[in-house]
Amino acid sequence: MTDQAHMQAPVAATPRAPLIVASVIFAALALIPVLAEAWGGAWLTSLAVRAMILAIVAISLDLLMGQGGMVSFGHSAFVAIGAYACGIMITEGVYEMALILPVAIAAAGLFALISGAICLRTSGVSFIMITLAFGQMIYFALGSLAQYGADDGLTLWSGPDFLGTSWLGSDMGVYVTVFAVLLATWALVHRITGARFGRVLRAARQNPTRVASMGYSVFRYRLTAYVIAGVIAAIAGVLWATHAAFISPSLGAWQRSGDLIVMVVLGGMATRNGALLGALFFILIEETLSSITHDWRLIFGPLLVLIALYARGGLVGLLDRVRGPR
C-alpha cells in the first residue's frame, strides 16, 4: 500500500510536434506581408487576413465542438453580431475600438447566455438544429434592420480608431492586429482546454452522466464554454468589419456556420492546430478551386462527402500518419 513507486503520479509530457507545426504556420503568416510587398499583391495580405479571422472563429468553434462535444450550427451568428456591433456603432458616430469591442463582447455574450441556456436543454441532433435556428433568427433580424442596410448590408465609410490612433486604418495595422488576436486565441483556447475548466468540459463530452455524478453541473460548464466561444467569434466579427469595411446579414447565414464546421473537421477536431490548419486550408481550397472554375462548389461538395466518409481526424490526423508510428 505504501510502496513509493506507486504513489508517484505519472505526469504526461508535452508533445513537441504540435508546437513545431504551429511555429511553422505562424512564421509563414508573419512572412506573408513581406512576400506580398515583394510581389506587389495586396490580394495576398487580404486573403491572409480573411483566413486568419476565420481561423480565430474556427478555433473558438473547436472549443465547443471538439472539446465540448457541442456541434453548434449557428456559430457564424456571433461573427455577425460582432460585425454589426462594430458597423452600427461606426454608423452612429462611435469610432473608438476601445468602446466598440466591449459592446460587441457584451452583445455576443448576452446572446450566447440566453440562447445557450435554451439550446443546452437539448443535446445531440436537437442541439444542432436549435443552434441552427437561433443562427437564422439573428440572420433574419439583421436583415430587417432597414436603417442599417437590411439585406443589402452596410458599407463602412470609415474604419474604427484604436485608442485615438488610426492604427486600424492601415492594411499593416489590421494585419498585425488580426495576427496578434489569432495568436492569442490559439494560445488561450489551448490553456482553457488544459485547465480545470477544460478538463470538466472534455470529460462531459465523453460521459456527461458520470461528470454530473462527480458533482459538476455539466450545464454550467457547457454554457460557460458557449459564452466564451461566442465572445471570441464576435471579436473576430469586429475584426472582419474593420478589415472588409462592409457587413451584411450573410455573415451570419447558416451556410457560413456550415463552412466553419467544415474547417474544424477538415483540420482535425480537438487537436492543438486542427482548427487553425483547417481554416487556412479551407481558404486555400476555395481560392484554388474558384480560380480553376467558377462552379467550384461542384467539386467542393463531393469533396466534403468524401471527407465525411473517409477522412476522420482531418489534416492533423494525416500529419500524424505521415510522421508514422512512434
Residues 241-300 that bind another protein (CB under 8 A): 254-255, 258, 261-262, 265, 295, 297-298, 300
Dmax (CA) of the chain: 74
81: left (phi over 0), alpha (psi -120 to 50) or beta: alpha
Residues 299-318 that bind another protein (CB under 8 A): 300-305, 307-309, 312
Characterize 221-254 residue by residue with b for buried, 16 or more Cβ atoms within 10 angstroms of its Cβ, and e for exposed: bbbbbbbbbbbbbbbbbbbbbbbbeebbbebbbb
Q: Is 45 in the site for another protein (CB under 8 A)?
A: no
Nearer to another protein, 167 or 219 (CB): 219
Q: 139, 151 in Cβ contact below 8 A?
A: no
Residue type for position 282: F
Closest distance to another protein from the beta carbon of 113 (Å):
13
Closest distance to another protein from the beta carbon of 60 (Å):
14
Q: Is 19 in the site for another protein (CB under 8 A)?
A: no
Q: Give the DSSP letter string of 239-255.
A: HHHHHHSEE-GGGG-HH
Residues 174-213 that bind another protein (CB under 8 A): 191-192, 194-200, 202-203, 206-207, 209-213
Task: Write out the H or E segment, with its range, that includes residue 23.
Answer: helix 17-39
Among 21, 61, 67, 73, binds another protein (CB under 8 A): 73
Closest distance to another protein from the beta carbon of 31 (Å):
30
Task: Write out the H or E segment, with its range, that includes residue 270.
Answer: none
Nearer to another protein, 126 or 170 (CB): 126
Cell numbers for 198, please give them: 477544460
Closest distance to another protein from the beta carbon of 29 (Å):
25
Q: Is 23 in the site for another protein (CB under 8 A)?
A: no
Closest distance to another protein from the beta carbon of 317 (Å):
14
Cβ-proximal residues to 183 (8 Å cutoff; 6+ apart), any chain:
26
Nearer to another protein, 137 or 176 (CB): 137
What is the size of the binding site for another protein (CB under 8 A)?
Answer: 77
- 174: helix, strand or coil: helix
Nearer to another protein, 143 or 237 (CB): 143
Residues 99-158 that bind another protein (CB under 8 A): 115, 118, 121-122, 124-126, 128-130, 132-134, 136-137, 140-141, 143-147
- What residues pair up with 96 in beta bridges, in sequence order? 161
